[in-house]
Copies of this chain bind each other. A is one copy, B any other.
Amino acid sequence: MYNINLNQVKEIVSSIVADHTIENVAFVGCGASKSELYPAKYFLSNASKKLRVSHFTANEFNLDTPDWLGDTTVVISASLGGSTPETVKANAVAKAAGATVISVTHASGSALTKDADYSIIHGFEANYAAKLEKMGYVMALALEILQQTDGYDKYDKMIDGFGKIFDLAEKSAQSAKKAAKQFAEEYKDAPVVYVMSSGGSTEVAYSTSICLMMEMQWINSGSFHSGEFFHGPFEIVDKNVPFVLLMNDGKTRDIDVRALTFLQRFNALTTVVDAKDYGLSSVISSDVATYFNPLLHTAVFRVYAEELSSIRQHPLSKRRYMWKLEY
């Protein structure tokens, strides 16, 4: 059974609550890492009755630092390589204000770990499940903070979910190859691709758009919440405008279903990644399954991006600007 180290998470949070009152939890990152913080933010801001929860792109946190930042704040920051300058600076800003900093990164000893009070080093390369560790650790931190402050009546179900989601996501990704190839074939020359989702997966749609499409494939893209689709974006629907819909198997499912119904009614080019098709809520308690959608969507859509990259002969690591110049 693949899992993250939940004991490490528990110990970090125990150590913090031993000598701090936690009133604020701020999630801080940039780009894909920012989006990978969102499922935890979504969970915690929804489920906690006492904590104040917020989510920042790092530079905004640094330049318009919230008035409440201080010693009752836990800042959870994330960066794959641990060197994102804005996020590294955010750690320093947080420390200077007296906050406790937990950093989640793949890079042991990286700049991000320097000002952090606690660091968690996550996997990445091994498989699709490993690529979810960052998101998973941040969610587990949110869960532990909730449990050790307010208490949470679905704590055991969430812990059980962590024990199941990584294997399910890996298996799902492995089984998605055929559908992913079909997507790649169909969308390889698309001038624009829209991505939408809801609930905890809202920022999976966002990172699919700004990272997988725009950054890694140089394909024009936009993203929005599937509930917002009906309040503007849907006027762009036409037979030749492609949409990716990451459907949730959880509380916001009806929102996604409504968007799908509309897309199908007008024969829009529609690619659906439905967490229900991969059995999310039959594997994980339906009381908490909604919070695990982002992990499943991220794993499965990674395969779609790989197939798109392959058919377009445009490696996911190809860049015009990043890693090539100072900006």
A interface residues (Cβ-Cβ under 8 A, vs B): 30-34, 45-49, 51-54, 57-60, 63-64, 66-68, 84, 86, 191-192, 198-199, 207, 209-211, 214-216, 218, 220-225, 227-228, 230-237, 241, 250-252, 254-255, 258, 261-262, 265, 290, 319-322, 327
Contacts and interface: CB of A to CB of B under 8 A. Distances in A.
A228 B30 CA distance: 6
Given A46-B67, A66-B45, A210 B228 contact: yes
A235 B214 contact: yes
A60 to B, nearest CB: 6
Given A59-B227, A210-B233, A215-B232, A64 B252 contact: yes
10 contacts: A32-B231, A34-B231, A63-B252, A64-B251, A64-B252, A210-B222, A218-B235, A230-B327, A258-B327, A262-B327
Given A58-B227, A227-B86, A46 B31 contact: no
Contacts of A211: 231-232
Residue of A34, A232, A237 with most partner-chain B CB within 10 A:
A232
A225 B32 contact: no
A64 B46 contact: yes
B54 A225 contact: no
B47 A67 contact: yes
Contacts of A254: 59, 63
A86 to B, nearest CB: 7
A113 B235 CA distance: 28
A271 B255 CA distance: 35
Contacts of A265: 327
Nearest to A259: B327
Contacts of A236: 214-215, 218, 220
A193 to B, nearest CB: 10
A232 B29 CA distance: 13
B231 A31 contact: yes
A247 to B, nearest CB: 14
The 3 closest A-B pairs by CB, nearest first: A31-B231, A222-B222, A210-B232
B235 A222 contact: no
Residue of A46, A209, A216 with most partner-chain B CB within 10 A:
A46
Nearest to A217: B235
Nearest to A266: B321
Nearest to A56: B227
